A and B are shown apart, each in its own frame.
Chain A
């Protein structure tokens, strides 16, 4: 069981927006703006797309955006493209001894 909860799957049509949620607790997402998101295509290593809740690394499309409300962080992809079809993982700092927790991952299907 993952420490952060994500929906197992989401889907959307090209051009539409989708949002993936990541729910934690006051020990992680709720109390710290230290949430990151990773995109993983099949057979490939994950790639950082959002860090510190809302920031995009250089080279990441501005179609990807992050936000947070309470204990839930969200990744929004606007204007879905076929190449966005991938697995997405959230990750957070936690004040427990673990210090790092992942979500279980969400499979995005572009219809």
Chain B
């Protein structure tokens, strides 16, 4: 059974780069599937950030495209999110997710809260 776990700093300063890692247990990011990041702003709905297909192809939300990067880790069981030039508006719970497709997301991490504050 595949499980996902997010990790990374819970506090990031404005203008810096938010970096999160998702560790996949019970599977590999190179055996198929879409590997996504979704965020949820405080008290708000879900926002799609982007995904990386297992081949390495990526697709990002147009509203974040200029600041976001999703890539595979050095290990076959990790992928990462980098979001640059963060502001308080990027404060959110960040989820890493496995998808059968970009929109059919069947395994979710528990989520990690990232606060942007000086």
Assuming the contacts A48-B105, A51-B104, A105-B46, asked whether A99 and B59 have C-beta atoms less than 8 A apart, the reply is yes
Q: A103–B46 Cα gap in the complex (Å)?
A: 8
Q: Across the interface, which residues of A come within 8 angstroms of B104, CB to CB? A: 34, 36, 48, 51-52
Q: Which segment of A12-20, A61-69, A75-83, A85-93 sits at the interface?
A: A85-93
Q: Which B residues lie within 8 Å of A100 (CB)? A: 36, 48, 51, 59, 102-103
Contact A91:B111 (CB < 8 A) given known A99-B59, A100-B51, A101-B48: no
Binary per-residue interface labels of chain A (17-49) against chain B in the complex, 1 for a CB within 8 Å, 0 otherwise: 000000000000000001110101000011110
What's the least CB distance linking A33 to chain B, in Å?
A: 11
Instruction: Answer yes or no: B26 CB below 8 A from chain A CBs.
Output: no
Measured CB to CB, the closest approach of chain A to B30, in angstroms, equals 21
A residues near B102, Cβ cutoff 8 Å: 93, 99-100
Residues of B within 8 A of A45 (CB): 95, 108-111
Residues 59-118 of B at the A interface (beta carbon under 8 Å): 59, 61-62, 95, 100-106, 108-111
**Does A91 lie within 8 Å of B103, measured CB to CB?**
yes
Chain A residues with Cβ below 8 Å from B108 are 45-47
- A3–B28 Cα distance when bound, in Å, is 32
- Please report the C-alpha to C-alpha distance between residue A101 and residue B36 in the assembled complex, in whole angstroms: 13
The CA of A31 and the CA of B46, in the complex, are separated in Å by 23
A6 nearest CB neighbor, chain B only: B45
4 other A-B residue contacts (CB within 8 Å) besides A100-B59, A100-B102, A100-B103: A34-B103, A48-B104, A98-B59, A103-B45
Residues of B within 8 A of A (CB): 36, 38, 45-48, 51, 59, 61-62, 95, 100-106, 108-111
